Amino acid sequence: MDIKKDTMKTPVLYTCARSRGLRATWAAEEAGVDIDLKILPFPPRYLAPEYLEINPLGTVPLLVDGESRMTESCAIAHYLATRSGYTPLAIAPGERDYAEYCDYTYHADATITFPQTVYMRFAIFEKDKGWAEAGLAYAKWFHKRLIKIEQRLDGREFLCADRFTVADICVGYALILAESVGLDDGVPESLKEYRARLTARDGYKRAFEREEAGRLALEKGGA
């Protein structure tokens, strides 16, 4: 992959399959935004060092749209949903639940994804360093922080304005991550049902399949 020669006519999304970048891929599918999806090996900072030339952080996702560069998954999801004007995927200022939309979109990463990433690092990736106990403490933190989402969804199908929005994409990914990293036992049944509704959507299925196809092609190319 020649990163320097990527065209800027179509937004380019660099990500790793099943990472937080799935929020962006999912939002693009739901919004009908054409993106040039670039799947990188994990972790890209070590396995795709040329990536550091355009993203010194070495993190994913990265969206390149003309001169714009974005590295926050929830911000990218909102951007793609509103790139050509507000769509039903986003809630505009003055619309009912606008404040809640903003709150849950940011809450998704700052409050219920962050502790999972700490858990993954200390209790999974670097458990041999003796930090597993700290990772497990963050797992408990994650489970306790689910109360806000659980209460919000009591009697609701979606988080805001009685419709599926980017807030659901962002929170939904956090719940998907919990299942994939072994933290599902502490997730309330109501949130598991909510996650099942989200992952049954055609937009999610297309996003997941696109990323998986990219991952498999990458593995085949490196074989």
pLDDT reported for residue 122: 97
| Residue ranges of domains in the chain | 3-87+203-222, 98-201
Residue 2 predicted with pLDDT over 80:
no
Peptide bond into 11 cis (omega under 30): no
Q: Give domain 98-201's CATH number out of 1.20.120.1200, 1.20.1050.10, 3.90.1150.110, 2.30.130.10.
A: 1.20.1050.10
pLDDT reported for residue 222: 62
CATH topology of domain 3-87+203-222: Glutaredoxin (3.40.30)
pLDDT reported for residue 221: 82
pLDDT digits (tens, 9 = 90+) for 117-165: 999 999 999 999 999 999 999 999 999 999 999 999 999 999 999 999 9
Residue 26 predicted with pLDDT over 80:
yes
Sign of the alpha-carbon dihedral angle for 209, 211, 216, 217: positive
Q: List, as own/partner pairs, every contact residues 88-94 make where C-beta atoms lie below 8 angstroms and the sequence separation is at least 24, other chains included.
A: 88/163, 88/164, 88/165, 89/27, 89/30, 89/31, 89/164, 89/165, 89/166, 89/169, 90/165, 90/166, 91/160, 91/161, 91/165, 91/167
Q: Looking at residues 51-77, what average pLDDT do you find? A: 97
**Per-residue pLDDT band at 4 (split at 50, 70, 90):** very low
Q: Could you tell me if 178 and 142 are in contact, meaning their C-beta atoms sit under 8 angstroms apart? A: yes
Residue 7 predicted with pLDDT over 80:
no
Q: Could you tell me if 195 and 172 are in contact, meaning their C-beta atoms sit under 8 angstroms apart? A: yes
Q: Looking at residues 15-37, what average pLDDT do you find? A: 98
**Per-residue pLDDT band at 9 (split at 50, 70, 90):** confident
pLDDT reported for residue 71: 98
Dist. CA 164–CA 189, nearest whole Å: 20
